[in-house]
Amino acid sequence: MRAVAHRPTPPPAWQPRTDPAPLLPDAEPHRLLGTDAMAGADPELLLSLYDRLVLGRRFNTQATALTKQGRLAVYPSSTGQEACQVAAALALERRDWLFPSYRDTLAAVTRGMDPVRVLTLLRGDWHTGYDPYEHRVAPLSTPLATQLPHAVGLAHAARLKGDDVVALALVGDGGTSEGDFHEALNFAAVWRAPVVFLVQNNGFAISVPLAKQTAAPSLAHKAVGYGMPGRLVDGNDAPAVHQVVSEALARARSGGGPTLIEAVTYRIEAHTNADDATRYREEPEVELWRRHDPILLLERELTGRGLLDEDRRRSAADAAEAMAAELRERMNADPVLDPMDLFAHVYAEKTGQLREQSELLRAELTAEGETR
Amino acid sequence: MTPATTEARAAAKPATMAQALKRAMRDAMAEDPSVHVLGEDVGTLGGVFRITDGLAAEFGDDRCTDTPLAEAGILGAAVGMAMYGLRPVVEMQFDAFAYPAFEQLISHVARMRNRTRGRMPLPITVRVPYGGGIGGVEHHSDSSEAYYMATPGLQVVTPATVEDAYGLLRAAIAADDPVVFLEPKRLYWSKSSWSPTAPAKVPPLGRAVVRRPGTGATLITYGPSLPVCLEAAEAAAAEGWDLEVVDLRSLVPFDDETVCASVRRTGRAVVVHESTGFGGPGGEIAARVTERCFHHLEAPVLRVAGFDIPYPPPMLERHHLPGVDRVLDAVARLQWEAES
């Protein structure tokens, strides 16, 4: 068609690229516990969630105790958030990948990893103590939200290779303010990468409450801007988290692209053992959340349905106690350190500079040995 | 025209550094299906410098991908792709546009192998056009090599010749460590008789090379400053100075051996680069040479570098960039009187 110079054609009428309505999260967080929908729930799954929550809580208290004994340099507790981490990790297939942040040790343990290896970073005898390929768990990421683009890239690569693999990336409410959160969600949506983003909104980024973090109606609403669905779920309702994450994984698996899930929960403990939460929040608020505890909620439901009796409760507690005892014992042994490891993995092959420096350290170690 | 005669014509024509870089990526992609190119405008457009021209057409959008405009996202995604066994080649559009990717580079790309005790190496090549001399407006001419050099875990490589552009990029892509591959953009259109059909020689990373043998003093340089040094050496010959020119090619790992062997022979050294002098690569190089060759030195190791200023606007950049005269002035200050 020939353009008419003196009569510019109008631009095409503006059209939204995507209908935002189906992407919007529900007004209320999704809940299953205490609703009629529980009638159809799989009792085996519920009991498995219960056992894992009890184990997870004990893991948190034991790890916190280990900081007091000097066996862990630091521990960011996920007490109160166990349902998010346990239910999300249980929704994954073995072939899927998990991208945790530093507070997500419990999700990694739920994947079947050795707790001592997961805690290596926080013990301080190395950075990542496990082989990420063994259980398909990326290293615990400390710089906030920086692991999210990794999850997108891995999921994208898996899709290019034709593999049935989904990546589940965990991030906190504070992390949603980081640029990498934005870039990762945007890339994921544009590439339709099989990735699920799970935000554990625990109310605080160390001391800063969500109100100072975002003006969005909810964190799940952010999904709409990227053209992916946002889901809001009660993060203390383990069956609900399991359901919402499972649906998002299935959607990603079938080529439907990414989903952003906001799990509303609460960080019962301080940020870490080095933090003092009384400086920025009141005890009555914490008390309210204690009454909405994920284990308490599930226990009430299971007892009401006759799925949980005293024996079953005791066996879960005993298993958790045994795990804690073993963890205590193993963590009380001094880790074996080899200072020469400092140079071993910087490059595939040591550079000349590193060879010189490793010889210097070796000489120092030899001299130390002689003087002892 | 048959492919053979096309190739013959290509061989007869001098090749540019831009063509050599493109050829290196093309050959790497043809040989290894895990090599993926990604970045801004690298697909349909072929990159703003046309270095990826034709790759998307030949290998498809999944192998040469136009990404959203977000450098941290590009490099972060490349990390995930490398975790899954791919070999990403990332293009950062300009030196100063690579800065948003710094956190990914410093906190993850450089550390992942070490963090995981070698279990999760990241064979990523990050291509960065760098340096000035092309009349670029602000943010298009930075020499950012010192930032990368200061980060353990990264290899930092920069070609200065057309041949090296091909060979070093092939070596970088094949390397199991992350490589920041700095491309001197004002040499993109430099030519040589190098032929892409000649059997490709892939030089090992981390080896410097003597570009001009000499006996009087050593000019230690790399990337965009190599042609300056070679020209200075020619001019110096007229004044009776026989200069040796060493092209580092790799800033990390640093080839102490080649550099020090040269300085021990000549007894004098000048480091030449565009990057700022204060905190720049020249300080490290001068220190290394002094520590290792002190008793062979007839004069202090001198630096000819860019001024310690933010990169100047294009109409003033010629005053900033180290040129032949500034190099010769430094050579003149190498205490020759002691010899006469």
pLDDT 10s digits, B38-78? 999 999 999 999 999 999 999 999 999 999 999 999 999 99
- Pick the last residue of a domain from B192, B226, B242: B192
| Residue B33 sits in the same domain as residue B176 | yes
Domain formed by A21-332, architecture = 3-Layer(aba) Sandwich (3.40)
- CB A184 to CB B120 under 8 A? no
H-helix segments, A161-276 = 179-191, 222-226, 238-253
Q: What is the per-residue pLDDT across A221-264, written as a single tens digit (0 to 9) for each?
A: 999 999 999 999 999 999 999 999 999 999 999 999 999 999 99
Residues of A with CB under 8 A from a CB of B: 126-128, 131-133, 138-139, 143, 146, 148-158, 160-161, 167, 179-180, 182-184, 186-187, 190, 341, 344-348, 351-353
Q: What is the mean pLDDT of chain A?
A: 95
Q: What CATH code is carried by the domain that includes residue B78?
A: 3.40.50.970
Residue of A161, A347, A349, A355 to mutate, testing the B interface (most B Cβ within 10 Å of its Cβ): A347
Query: Which long-range contacts (C-beta less than 8 Å, at least 24 apart) are formed by A299-303?
Result: A299/A50, A300/A33, A300/A34, A301/A33, A301/A34, A301/A38, A301/A46, A302/A46, A302/A47, A302/A50
For residues B177 and B222, membership in a common domain is answered with no
Tell me, yes or no, whether B163 and B288 share the same domain: no
The answer on B228 and B187 residing in a single domain is: no
B147-157 average pLDDT score:
98
Domain for residue B202, yes or no? no
Residue B186 lies in a domain: yes
**Are residues B119 and B220 located together in one domain of the fold?**
no
pLDDT at A5: 57
pLDDT at residue B191, rounded to an integer: 87
Which pLDDT does position B203 carry in this prediction?
81
Binned at pLDDT 50, 70 and 90, residue B337 comes out as confident
Asked whether the beta carbons of residue B84 and residue A184 sit closer than 8 angstroms, the reply is no
Residue B80 lies in a domain: yes
> Do B147 and B9 belong to one domain?
yes
In chain A, which residues have their Cβ closer than 8 Å to the Cβ of B120?
132-133, 139
Confidence of residue B187 (pLDDT cuts 50, 70, 90): very high
Share of chain B above pLDDT 90, in %: 90
CA A277 to chain centre: 22
Query: Is B67 found in the same domain as B183?
Result: yes
Residue tagged active-site, from A192, A280, A281, A292: A280
**Cα–Cα dist A258/A252, whole Å:** 6
What value of ipTM does the predicted structure carry?
A: 0.95
A45-94 tens-digit pLDDT: 999 999 999 999 999 999 999 999 999 999 999 999 999 999 999 999 99
Q: Catalogue the E-assigned strands of chain A.
A: 97-99, 167-172, 195-201, 204-205, 208-209, 230-234, 259-264
What pLDDT score does A205 carry? 96
The answer as to whether B73 is a domain residue is yes
- Across the interface, whether the CB atoms of A187 and B257 are under 8 A apart is answered no
Q: In CATH, what number is assigned to the domain containing residue B272? A: 3.40.50.920
Query: B192, B218, B239 — which closes off a domain?
Result: B192
Looking up tokens 């792709």 gives: B81
- Minimal CA separation from B324 to chain A, in Å: 32
The pLDDT of residue B9 is above 80 = no
Closest-CA residue of A relative to B253 is A351
Residue B153's domain spans which residues? 3-192
State the count of interchain CB pairs (< 8 A) between A and B: 138
Residue B236: per-residue pLDDT: 97
What local confidence, expressed as pLDDT, does residue B30 receive? 97
Do residues B230 and B128 share a domain? no
Rounded CA-CA distance A232/A137 in Å is 25
What percent of chain B stands above pLDDT 70? Answer: 94
Measured in whole angstroms, the distance separating CA B93 from the mean position of its chain's CA atoms is 15
**Does any domain span residue B172?**
yes
A153 and B176: CB-CB below 8 Å?
no
Q: Which portions of chain A are predicted below pLDDT 50?
A: 1-4
- Residue A82: what are its φ and ψ, rounded to 5°? -60, -35
A280 is catalytic: yes
Question: Is there a single domain that holds both residue B64 and residue B152?
Answer: yes
Per-residue pLDDT band at B340 (split at 50, 70, 90): low
pLDDT of residue A369: 86
Contact partners, residue A209, CB within 8 Å, separation at least 6: A203, A280, A281
Q: What band does B198 get if pLDDT is binned at 50, 70 and 90? A: low
Q: Which residue of A has its CA nearest to B104?
A: A146
If one counts the domains in chain B, the total is 2
pLDDT at A372: 52
Shared domain for B244 and B322, answered yes or no, is yes
Would you kindly state where each structural domain of chain A is located, as residue ranges? 21-332, 341-371
Chain A's closest residue to B109, CA to CA, is A150
Q: Which residues of B are catalytic?
A: 140
Per the CB < 8 A criterion, the answer to whether A50 and A302 are in contact is yes
Q: How much is the mean pLDDT over chain B? A: 94
The pLDDT assigned to A14 comes to 82
Residues B272 and B135 in one domain: no
pLDDT tens digits, one per residue of B227-237 = 999 999 999 99
Domain boundary, last residue among B158, B192, B226? B192
